[in-house]
Structure 1
Amino acid sequence: MSAGQNSVAVVTITYSPGDTLEEFIESLQTEPEARGRIIVVDNGSTDGAPERAAAEHDSVTLIRSPGNVGYGRAANIGERSLEADIEWVLIANPDTQVTPGAIATLLEAAASHPEAGVLGPKILEPDGSVYPSARSLPSMRTGIGHAVLSGIWPTNPWTRAYQQRDVSSSDEVTAVGWLSGAFLLARRSAFDQIGGFDERFFMYFEDVDLGRRMYLKGWRNIFVPQATVVHIGGASTEKVADVMVRAHHRSAYQYIAKTHPGLVWKPVLAVVRVGLAVRAAFLTRG
């Protein structure tokens, strides 16, 4: 193992997380590497869960962000609050639960892969099915094909190429384009080198963009399926599902625009923007 108990810290972002936060913290108690330093960055909860966690657990530090600043900015706030000797930052949703040994397994993989800037586990749904968390970076064509057809033709070739479900279901440690931001172990030196998450993404695609920028700086995003976590589901986002759909589509456009700069792409981006707006309106109708 390359990291001791004092060199790993956990950062989780909350927005009225309900009971999932306590369940997340309890699941970390099986992980000696990560249970001692837990930063909860709260984006404006009204359910009292972050305050209860801080009061009941000596390992939990509560930081209140200046309003609902989004996932990436809140994660950056948490990371920047950490002591200088923290080498690894586990950034996770509070609605995930760690299975025993997952953190140690990620750290062991990191020791074998010094090129790893970010490592991610296999993510399971509550029913045991595998969530496609290890994906390729989307091209313009793949992204459009996935956006247009995934809802009506889930097995279309663009969605298959983007989601790489065979990779997420495999048992091989693999370098991928990006890893789900629901649960990431980030090498702090790499995270700081690229400036953390791009805070212009309020929610969604900040993990895609992180993976892309890691790759551009020579780091790799390593999928470690021997480590597993369970993603219970969005206790916060399910209450504002329509808002999240619109945020997802805005971030999708933002990512495409960021990765396709220049005047030559302006007409294409205009069409993409309208198409994504129409799709968001269709999904949130009624």
Structure 2
Amino acid sequence: MSDDLVVVTVTYSPGPHLNRFLATLSHATDRPVTVVMADNGSTDGAPEEALARYPNARLLPTGGNLGYGSAVNRAVAEYLTDSDNNDFFIVANPDVQWGPRSIDILLEAAARWPHAGSLGPLIRDPDGSVYPSARHQPSLVRGGMHAVVGPFWKSNPWTAEYRQERREPSERAVGWLSGSCLLLRRSAFEEISGFDERYFMYMEDVDLGDRLSRAGWQNVYVPAAEVLHDKGHATGKDPARNLAAHHTSTYTFLADRYPRWWQGPLRWTIRSSLAARADLVVRNSRRKRAKGRRK
């Protein structure tokens, strides 16, 4: 396996998505590939079926629902060794479908960007629209205004700037890339000790991009490579719980960036604002879900 490109995907009852992920992988590269399914406690049998069907698949039970970053770290520690010839590996959600040569195009871009710690493709939603997966880091003003007014004023300038959604797709260094599909340089990943395992879900990719940048690496958007992402297949099972988790992770991220004692009032303000916003969006989500059941 030392010559294989390792592709890590975190499974949690992925259903038919996993088969499409594995079936389309041959479109992405001609290189030998080993797919590691870091399984966080699936109950639908999909990882076991994939293991029987695809000879290049490996199943790594994590022992419980560890969260996304922790499961990836476990797979990297288990399957990437010092004897491996590849300094790159892929991390991707199991609901990704691979576009033609998408992995090869990412690897070719990595040769052009020797300081790239992460590289990400253009990501399309199922309707064909482009998902804004390459973004600025969320500063207090830009990220704060996006969080506060974004749900009510979709076209606000802070959200547009943060998401870079009005820019034409171009190969460039960005603040962070969506963790739904990443080519990662192993040496950079190990230098920053991988994903921060305090993030159970959400913001682990924002944090990873920020720490790579702080360590002198770049996060490079490569829109010539394309994948389709049927996002939300797992998070949609309990949207209210996941909205609350998103706000918890956001506070963890921001509090880390303002750790000084004299920044305590700022952290308190951030925590209070996020708690109020979480309460609002969770209640709204539950109201919509209850209304949908009554129809």
Q: Same fold (TM over 0.5)?
A: yes
Give the aligned partner of residue 133 of structure 1. Answer: 133
Give the aligned partner of residue 142 of structure 2. Answer: 142
Shift of 1:30: 1.9
Deviations 1:178-218 (A, max 9, x none): 00000000011111111000011111111011111111111
Give the aligned partner of residue 26 of structure 1. Answer: 23
**Is the 8 Å Cα contact of residues 10 and 34 (structure 1) preserved in structure 2?**
no
Deviations 1:145-164 (A, max 9, x none): 11100011112222122111
Give the aligned partner of residue 180 of structure 1. Answer: 178
SS of match in other structure, 2:33? coil
Q: Counterparts of 1:124 and 1:142 in 2: how far apart (Å)? A: 24
Give the aligned partner of residue 109 of structure 1. Answer: 109
Give the aligned partner of residue 157 of structure 1. Answer: 157
Q: Are residues 262 and 283 of structure 1, via their aligned partners in 2, closer, same or farther at CA, if it must alter by over 3 Å?
A: same
Query: 1:65 and 2:62 equivalent?
Result: yes
Give the aligned partner of residue 241 of structure 1. Answer: 239
Q: Counterparts of 1:108 and 1:56 in 2: how far apart (Å)? A: 30
SS of match in other structure, 1:61? strand
Shift of 1:273: 1.0
Shift of 1:235: 1.6
**Is the 8 Å Cα contact of residues 173 and 218 (structure 2) preserved in structure 1?**
yes
Shift of 1:33: 4.7
Give the aligned partner of residue 251 of structure 1. Answer: 249
**Is the 8 Å Cα contact of residues 28 and 35 (structure 1) preserved in structure 2?**
no
Give the aligned partner of residue 290 of structure 2. Answer: none
SS of match in other structure, 1:30? helix
**Is the 8 Å Cα contact of residues 33 and 103 (structure 1) preserved in structure 2?**
no
Shift of 1:144: 1.2
Give the aligned partner of residue 277 of structure 1. Answer: 275
Give the aligned partner of residue 90 of structure 1. Answer: 90
**Is the 8 Å Cα contact of residues 15 and 42 (structure 1) preserved in structure 2?**
yes
SS of match in other structure, 1:151? coil
Q: Counterparts of 1:66 and 1:128 in 2: how far apart (Å)? A: 36
Q: Are residues 35 and 94 of structure 1, via their aligned partners in 2, closer, same or farther at CA, if it must alter by over 3 Å?
A: farther
Deviations 1:40-68 (A, max 9, x none): 00111111111111121111111111211
**Unpaired segments of 5 or more residues in structure 2?**
288-295
Instruction: Count residues with an aligned counterpart.
Output: 281
Q: Counterparts of 1:6 and 1:107 in 2: how far apart (Å)? A: 15
Shift of 1:264: 1.8
Shift of 1:275: 1.6
Alignment of 1:162-241 (within 5 A): 162-167=162-167, 169-170=168-169, 172-241=170-239
Q: Counterparts of 2:215 and 2:271 in 1: how far apart (Å)? A: 29
Q: Counterparts of 2:159 and 2:28 in 1: how far apart (Å)? A: 35
CA RMSD of aligned residues (A): 1.5
**Is the 8 Å Cα contact of residues 119 and 184 (structure 1) preserved in structure 2?**
yes
Q: Are residues 214 and 34 of structure 1, via their aligned partners in 2, closer, same or farther at CA, if it must alter by over 3 Å?
A: farther
What TM-score comes out, normalization by structure 2 length? 0.92
Paired residue type of 2:228: V
Paired residue type of 2:236: E
**Is the 8 Å Cα contact of residues 7 and 88 (structure 1) preserved in structure 2?**
no
Q: Counterparts of 1:75 and 1:114 in 2: how far apart (Å)? A: 23
**Is the 8 Å Cα contact of residues 17 and 45 (structure 1) preserved in structure 2?**
yes
Shift of 1:166: 2.9
**Unpaired segments of 5 or more residues in structure 1?**
none
Paired residue type of 2:163: Q
Paired residue type of 2:47: P
Q: Counterparts of 2:100 and 2:3 in 1: how far apart (Å)? A: 19
